[in-house]
Amino acid sequence: MKKLITLTVNGQQQEILVEPQQTLVEALRYTLGLTGTKEGCGNGNCGSCTVIMDGKIVNSCLVFAVEAAGKEIVTIEGVSQGGKLHPLQQAFMDEGALQCGFCTPGFIISGIALLNVNRHPTEEQIRHAFAGNLCRCTGYDKIVRATLKAAAL
């Protein structure tokens, strides 16, 4: 039985029909067409599906869509404003902190969530903040450096 839910995504209120077993990442990607959020594992291991829900990061593959009713969600599509990259996105671009780009939206969301609570994190704090985001291309080196650079702005 499908259920009608209301949620706010990137500042926009949305009413959507979801299956009871549908996850938030599936609803974002396939119901709302916001495919920037990726699903890499389906069990919370990789963090590619990271979004901000009511101010906190969640793995959207571990949240049922029905649980997101009434919540405020920020996805990668809601990060850059007015056609301008967020400073963290810009730092990732300048430092070459992305390769295939599949994990990148999750890192940007986790990085922004980190900088929201800790404006000047250390290398170690950044590595721990990213412990739930896997990247297989970069070895994390340039990701950590780009985040430090954005934090220094």
Partner 1 sequence: MTKYSVIGQRLPRVDAATKLTGQAKFAADFTLPNMLWGKVLWSPYPHANIRQIDVSEAAALKGVKAVITAADVPKKKDDEEYPGAMSSCLARNKVIFAGQPVAAVAAINQYVAEEALALIKVDYEVLPAVIDIEEAMKPGAPLVHPNTFTMNIPDKDKKPTNIFWYSKIEKGNIDAGFRQADVVLENVYRTQVVHHGYLEPRASMANVEPDGKVTIWSDNQGIFELREIVAGLLNIPFSKLKVIPVEVGGAFGGKSSQIVAPLCVLLSGKSGLPVKIVTSREETFKTNRPAPAALFTVKIGATKDGAITGAYVKMVYDFGALSGIGGMGQFSFGGPPMLNTYRIPNIKIDNYSVYTNKTPSGPYRGPTATQAAFAIESQLDEVARALKIDPVEFRLKNVSVDGDPMNAPGFGGDDHFGKIGFKPVMEQMKKYLNKRGPVKGGNRGRGVSCGYWATASGSAGAIINLNADGTLDVLIGSVDVSGTRTIAAQVVAEELGVPYEKVTVNTGDTDVAPYSTLSAGSMIARSISKPLHLACQDIIAQLCERAAPLLEVRPDELEYTRGQVQIKGKPDKALTLAEIGGKTFHFPGGSPIIGRGSTQGSGSSPVIAMSTADVEVDKETGKVKILNFATIQDTGCSINPTLIEGQQQGAAAQGIGWALMEKSVYQNGVIQNATLLDYRVPTAVDLPYIDAFAVEIEYENSPFGIRGAGEPPLVPTVAAIANAIRDATGVRMKEVPMTPETVFWALQKKGK
Q: Does position 56 bind partner 1 by CB under 8 A?
A: no
151/119 Cα distance (integer angstroms)? 6
Interface with partner 1, residue 72, by CB under 8 A: no
- Tell me whether residue 73 or residue 133 sits nearer to partner 1 (CB atom): 133
Tokens 């990701």: give the residue.
143
- Using CB under 8 A as the binding rule, whether residue 108 contacts partner 1 is answered as yes
Task: Give the amino acid at 72.
Answer: E
In sequence order, the 6+-apart residues with CB closer than 8 A to the CB of 149 are 91, 94, 95
Which CB, 7 or 18, lies closer to partner 1?
18
* Candidate list 17, 94, 116, 122; residue touching partner 1; CB under 8 A: 94
Alpha-carbon span 27 to 54, nearest angstrom: 17
Q: State how far Cα 8 lies from the chain centre.
A: 15
Q: Does residue 142 interact with partner 1 by CB under 8 A?
A: yes
Closest to partner 1 by CB, 117 vs 131, is 131
CA distance linking residue 98 with residue 96, whole number of Å: 6
- Token pair in block for residue 3: 């259920």
Please report whether residue 57 would count as binding partner 1 according to CB under 8 A: no
What is the binding site for partner 1 (CB under 8 A)? 19, 21, 29-30, 34-43, 45-46, 48, 75-77, 79-80, 85, 89, 92-96, 98-105, 108, 126-128, 130-131, 133-145
